[in-house]
Amino acid sequence: MAHSGINVLFEGTNLTRLLLGMWTTFKIAAVAIIIGLIIGVILGILRTFHNPILRFILRIYLEFFRIVPTVVLLFLFYYILPRQMNLHMPGTQVATLVFALWVAAEMSDIVRGALISVPIHQKESGLAIGLNRFQLYRYVLVPQAVQLELPATINLVTRVIKTTSLLMLISVMDVVNIGQQIVEANNQKYPTGVFWIYGLIFLLYFLIDYPLSWWAGRLEKKRLEQANGE
């Protein structure tokens, strides 16, 4: 055991490949989150309307993405749906789509919850100065809801980033997949390399997720302080 496991990181292009894998992971998560949040806010607003058919459909949509595990969704969209619809998308696009739809579903629930917890008086005060429905949401309800929901949204984002580790199932070359390639390629030469590879992957995820968690926690604390202070 003359080789120290940490050297596995610096052999050939290993480190670059891991970082590129992380970049792939990050890109998919970022695009999915941006698209998902926008759609989620719109769906969340629609879910506060009193149209029962619309509400039912959106509820089904939410429950679908909540009940079905992400692994199954990825599998469904990558392997099963293309067979039926003859629509072929590369793994990265499927991943982005599935994550965006998932984020949109969860976000719609967060936004809806935040909107209905804005006091009814706020809505009436808005109406009383002549705002129409769009203006009411645009200037009064949504900005207040966003403030209420921000910690929950950030937590959703960290969950999405963590869940990207499932991407290897649909042949996406994400950081976990590349990590596994390197571990297996070096099993004989660096038996302890596995700790270093997964240690680095852990560190990369941590560096992205921890600041987000910290931010969410701080916002929540601030919000409570404000609420108690009033």
Residues in contact with other proteins by CB under 8 A are 11-14, 16-17, 59-60, 63-64, 67-68, 75-76, 78-84, 88, 119, 121-122, 124-133, 135, 139-140, 143-144, 147, 168-169, 171, 173, 177-178, 180-188, 226, 229-230
The smaller minimum CB distance to other proteins, of residues 180 and 213, is found at 180
Q: Give yes or no for a contact between 91 and 30, defined as CB atoms under 8 angstroms apart.
A: no
CB of 44 to other proteins, least distance (A): 17
Say how far apart CA 206 and CA 29 lie, in whole Å: 15
The smaller minimum CB distance to other proteins, of residues 163 and 213, is found at 163
Q: Can you read off the two tokens belonging to residue 176?
A: 């976990």
The smaller minimum CB distance to other proteins, of residues 122 and 207, is found at 122
Say how far apart CA 182 and CA 20 lie, in whole Å: 13
The smaller minimum CB distance to other proteins, of residues 158 and 174, is found at 174
Q: DSSP state, 189? A: T
